[in-house]
Amino acid sequence: MKRILITGAAGFLGSHLCDRFIKEGFHVIAMDNLITGDLKNIEHLFKLENFEYYHHDVTKFVHVPGKLDYILHFASPASPIDYLKIPIQTLKVGALGTHNLLGLAKEKNARILIASTSEIYGDPLVHPQTEEYYGNVNTIGPRGVYDEAKRFQESITMAYHRFHGLETRIVRIFNTYGPRMRLNDGRVIPAFMGQALRGEDLTVFGDGSQTRSFCYVDDEIEGIYRLLMSDYELPVNIGNPHEITIRDFAEEIIKLTGTTQKVIYKDLPQDDPMQRQPDISKAKEILGWEPKVGREEGMRKTFEYFKTLSQEELERTEHRDFTQRNKK
Ligand code: UDP
């Protein structure tokens, strides 16, 4: 039986990866320190014999007994609200955490895939973003802690590949959504859906002309799986190229949820990228991958998930406006 270590396993993407690799017949070793993850995302797996969970912070030395065939490094805060709250941990998990996991991969002779991000392109001056674009990142801005950690992560991963001959894979993940997103992570989809469910107005930041391209989680996981199993060692964009402005997106959510509330406008957070859309030619050509789930279907499934959350949870996760803190 193949053994895989998944860090950030109790998070949104990490937990879906656990499900996928269990389904593929792997022995899954899940690791998380639960700073942003939640055990409820993986508790259904605890009864399985081929699943184990370690509560561990990967910025500290990582020890896993026995053989390891694969490592997926998905531990990291991944939303602007988190970078503001825990900037040092964000830097450490991308830098020190990645170093520890590369060391573990070398020791175990395992193939490692690291989760990079469209954020390495910063506020992009090239549109859509191809893997060849070097990016436009503000090193000292509020997002810098995430963006630069992820850029360093790519560099050290390629260094281990070139210097130690390690088998490495780098996925650049674009905005992904679906069940198990954290309702209070500040991201636009849980924010709008939470607001609709609580009967609040939908907060669009700036004039809403900025764009994003949202990928349904099942498509994202399929792309990551194919990349891990491929023999391609350079970064690959995995995301949905179907682009929309945030203003139009708010209108879509109003229709979908049937809320009688309206859109209100708030300040645009500092360094909020104005446009984002993946060029996925590489993923198509190398992995034979492209997204299958349209926004309407994906958003419906996601809203179904948020509707199952209790009223108590909805109130606890009342939307927080972090645009003011961003200005400091
Ligand atoms: N956004 C918004 N209202 C919210 C939360 C986010 O208008 O309540 C905007 C945000 O400014 C950004 C876009 O939605 O332009 C996507 O934000 P998110 O945090 O989901 O992802 P990222 O900016 O990292 O792509």
pLDDT for residue 309: 86
- Label residue 324 by pLDDT band (50, 70, 90): very low
Give the per-residue pLDDT at 10. Answer: 98
Q: Give nearest CA residue, ligand 1 atom 6.
A: 188
Mean of the per-residue pLDDT values of the chain: 95
Q: Whose CA is nearest to atom 23 of ligand 1?
A: 272
Q: Per residue in 95-128, pLDDT tens? A: 999 999 999 999 999 999 999 999 999 999 999 9
CA of 17 to the centre of ligand 1 (A): 24
Q: What is the pLDDT of residue 275?
A: 96
- 138-175 exposure pattern, b = at least 16 Cβ within 10 A, e = fewer: eeebbbbbbbbbbbbbbebbbebbeeeebbbbbbbbbb
CA 321 to ligand 1 center in whole angstroms: 11
Residue 49 half-sphere exposure, CB side, CA atoms within 13 Å? 2
Task: Kindly state the average pLDDT of the residues 281-285.
Answer: 98
Residue 317 banded pLDDT, cuts 50, 70, 90: low
Residues with CB under 6 A from ligand 1: 79-80, 175, 186-188, 191, 203-205, 210, 212, 246, 269, 272
Q: Which of 103, 117, 107, 109 is nearest to 156 (CA)?
A: 103
- Asked whether the CA dihedral 41, 177, 152, 143 is positive or negative, the reply is negative
Given a cut of 70, whether residue 67 has pLDDT beyond it is: yes
- C-alpha of residue 293 to centroid of ligand 1, in Å: 21
How confident is the model over 30-46, as pLDDT tens digits?
Answer: 999 999 999 999 999 99
Question: If you average pLDDT over residues 48-59, what whole number do you get?
Answer: 98
> By C-alpha distance, which of 76, 12, 87, 84 is closest to 42?
12
pTM of whole model > 0.85?
yes
pLDDT > 70: what percent of the chain?
95
Rg (CA), the chain: 19
Ligand 1: which residue has its CA nearest to atom 25?
175
Most informative mutation of 76, 182, 188 for ligand 1 (most atoms within 8 A of CB): 188
Give the C-alpha separation, 73 to 97, whole Å. Answer: 9
Residue nearest to atom 5 of ligand 1 (CA): 188
Q: In this predicted structure, what is the pLDDT of residue 316?
A: 65
User: Nearest residue CA, atom 3 of ligand 1?
Assistant: 204
Which mutation among 83, 137, 246, 299 tests ligand 1's pocket best, with the greatest number of atoms within 8 A of CB? 246
Quickly state the pLDDT bin for 219 (edges 50, 70, 90): very high
Q: Return the percentage of the chain with pLDDT > 90, whole number.
A: 93
- Ligand 1: centre distance to CA 238 (Å): 19
What is the pLDDT, as a whole number, of residue 184? 87
How large is the average pLDDT for residues 149-178? 98
Confidence tier at 248 by pLDDT (50, 70, 90): very high
**Ligand 1 closest atom vs CA 191:** 8
How far away, in angstroms, is 138 Cα from ligand 1 center?
Answer: 18
Candidate of 12, 83, 205, 322 to mutate for ligand 1, largest count of ligand atoms within 8 Å of Cβ: 205
Ligand 1 centre to CA of 58 (Å) is: 28
**pLDDT given for residue 326 in this prediction:** 42
User: Which residue's CA is the nearest one to ligand 1's atom 11?
Assistant: 205
Residues that are catalytic: 146
Distance 208 CA to ligand 1 centre (A): 9
What is residue 228's predicted lDDT score, i.e. its pLDDT?
Answer: 98
| CA dist., res. 13 & res. 182, Å (int) | 11
Which pLDDT does position 314 carry in this prediction?
A: 75
The pick from 187, 276, 325 for probing ligand 1's pocket by mutation, whose C-beta has the most ligand atoms within 8 angstroms, reads 187
